[in-house]
Amino acid sequence: MPSKPPWTTSRIRELAERYFNKRLCAAQVEVIKKLAEKKDVIACLPTGAGKTLTFWMPVLMAKEDGLPRKLTFVVTPLNLLGKQNKEQLIAAGIRATCVTAENATKATFKAIESGEHDVVIINPEILMSSPHLEILWKSPAFTSRIINFIFDEGHCISKWGTFRKDYRTVGRLRHLIPDHIPFYVASATLPSDVISDIKSVLQLRADSTAYISRSNDRPDIRLLVRVLQFSLKSFRDLDFLLAYAECWKPGDPLPAKFLIFFDNLKDAEAACRIFRARLPEDHPLKEAVHYFHSTMSSRYREQYLEAMQAGTVWGLFCTDAFGMGMDIPDIEIAIQWKATVDLCTLWQRFGRVARGPGKVGTAILLVEKKDTAEERAAKEKKAEEKKKKAQDKKKKAEEKADKATLKRAALDQGNQPTKRRVLGDRMGVAVNGEAGPSGSRQPIALNEQPAPPTAVTAAITKKVDDVEARRARYSRAPASESNKTKRFQSKGVEIGSAMDDFINAHVCHECRRVAPNVYFHNDKALTPVVCCDVCDPEEFKEYSVEFVKPVRGPGKSSVASLQKTPMDDATATFKASLYEWRKTKASEKFKPSTIRQLGTKVLMADEILNRVIECARARKLTDLESIRRETSWRYADELGLSLLELIKFHFPSPSSAPLVPGPANANDATSEGVQTVARRKRAPQKCSIQVLIQSALKN
């Protein structure tokens, strides 16, 4: 029998090109060769780098070697991902099945046993609990056909084990199947602490495990961290996406596809409904945005996955149900709503962007103020001020007690005056109970006592640590008992973690890629063209939302809102003219590219425009000062006169005020004839102790 030719790099690549029409990179070939040597493999390759392609090559190589009945098991965290893989395999002519709760029947496992499939894709729950598989593991005829076990998105073994318990027990397979069958763990996010946990759970062979790692940094993804400005329930921080819809018209390709990730399915649904409501009435894109989470039927999720691949869905408001491994090549924007995940999960979600050749995408993390170093420092400062105030109050109380003691002593001594030395002796006692030099009080100057270093102050003033020191810090246990939050309390980002450094990179003017690259051991990361909002802030203006702070306090008029009071003909005409005026002025002030990206709202937000309409019909806008006071519009000084002309044309008044700025302060105006009454001077207060002493001396 002729010997089989060795599997060289060129031969492996030729086989992949024949089946998949793709050329394998060096890292993919290295993984395949190690598996052929029967070694356990841990491979960390970036998202979109073709990890999945390496799963199928051992089966194809076995067929080429004349072993057609060989079998590969692929353990997947998501059934939808498994079905996607099955379709790709069938299209390439490889026999595959995806076992889910719907088809985990005796007939399915009988087909697997009889050799009808080359690849079995299965979730960990069925893998570890199916009675049919328990029988197959005991069959040497069956286990001898198994080439390997592949754990797709292998970081889930460590990260998901707390809520998917079967991931923590998959290591039992070592005792159920021959120990020469290799395990292959593949993921884009495998920091050192996760690898250590996986090695322990899977009982990987220490003397026969290959580690293959490439930088998981994606230079084709631009990174942005932005602080949430609006109420969380309003979801207005997502309004920058509406600018794409404003410039879109039927017949055009869909705007930039987006994914918004939530860790709460109720938030995903609420955000989707509110976003739809903010689109204009009868806008076609209303039906192109949907929510997507695990409680929906598998058919529903498959339907919208196919629709997004086909280009009929613009965006999804989703949870992890749409996540790892989902391969849609033209998604341009991924947004994480709040920093409720660790850096591994965040990197997986960001990795859904720009998966097609030559594509560039943007990944945005929207964080709450409580997770920023500035907010923590402000709270720390406030706490210190509160502490100082309490100490000052205590000090005054002690001094008052000293005076009361002195007064009682003077009364007890009768005609003998109290000596000042006694007061000095008493004042010589320090706060901590120790006398100062020469018997004088040594007051504690609070501002001279440096506060003990805290993680917050360290985060603000920190320099870039030594790389290995930072990695050690990142790999510590997630939270000590003191850092754990109470039940029902919002969990914050762990101070000093990789996620914390990523969010607050701007504080020490550090590139946002530094913390992830340190955490994921990306020592040879490529340099991106456009990096992040710290390195290239001008490139991210289109993703901002103008925050209009509500006008509060005296000066703001109470007028009927447009929602409660219907518009008359004059108001409706003015509204149409105001929209046209905004469009004209925006075109004059901003470049066409800015208008295309942000719309005419960049000049005047809809909230301000509605406020102008409400105040104009109530005759409250008579000069520039009233526009400033009633609307807080940022361009009031520049364009207020033009706006006033439009208002007075539609709502003329009998006595129109001149088109000049009003007085900056109404208190600047004075009235004649107002008599001022001089206040009676009060006699200076006398010290009660001094009065007592003087009285004793007179007697």
What are 96-121's pLDDT values in tens digits?
999 999 899 999 999 999 999 999 99
240 falls in which pLDDT band (50, 70, 90)? very high
- pLDDT at residue number 315: 94
- pLDDT at residue number 668: 47
What are 551-588's pLDDT values in tens digits?
454 467 788 787 778 888 899 999 999 999 999 999 99
- Comparing 83 with 653, which gets the higher pLDDT? 83
Average pLDDT over residues 438-452: 39
Model's pTM, two decimal places? 0.66
Q: In the 3-class helix/strand/coil scheme, how is 568-590 assigned residue by residue? A: CHHHHHHHHHHHHHHHHHHHHHC
Superfamily of domain 221-369: P-loop containing nucleotide triphosphate hydrolases (3.40.50.300)
290 falls in which pLDDT band (50, 70, 90)? very high
What are 263-288's pLDDT values in tens digits?
999 999 999 999 998 988 788 899 89
% of the chain at pLDDT higher than 70: 81
Q: Is the pLDDT of residue 656 over 70?
A: no
Spatial CA neighbour of 167 closest among 200, 119, 128, 193: 128
Domain with residues 9-213, CATH architecture: 3-Layer(aba) Sandwich (3.40)
What are the structure tokens assigned to 580, written together?
A: 């046209």
- pLDDT at residue number 632: 85
> Distance between CA 315 and CA 364 in Å, rounded?
15
Which class for 101: exposed (0-12), middle (13-18), buried (19 or more C-beta within 10 A)? exposed
**Using an 8 Å Cβ cutoff, are 269 and 291 in contact?**
yes
Q: Which of 37-51, 58-72, 667-681 has the lowest mean pLDDT?
A: 667-681
- pLDDT at residue number 80: 85
Average pLDDT over residues 343-366: 91
Average pLDDT over residues 656-675: 46
Residue boundaries of the structural domains of the chain: 9-213, 221-369, 569-662
**Using an 8 Å Cβ cutoff, are 304 and 316 in contact?**
yes
Q: Is the pLDDT of residue 596 over 50?
A: yes
Mean pLDDT of the chain: 82
**Using an 8 Å Cβ cutoff, are 511 and 505 in contact?**
yes
> Distance between CA 269 and CA 276 in Å, rounded?
11
Q: How many H-runs (helices) and E-runs (strands) does the chain carry?
A: 27, 13
Cite the beta strand spans of 342-489 per DSSP E.
Answer: 361-367
- pLDDT at residue number 437: 40
Q: Is the pLDDT of residue 237 over 90?
A: yes
> Distance between CA 562 and CA 571 in Å, rounded?
10
Q: Is the pLDDT of residue 601 over 70?
A: yes
Q: Which of 332-341, 448-457, 517-526, 592-601 has the lowest mean pLDDT?
A: 448-457
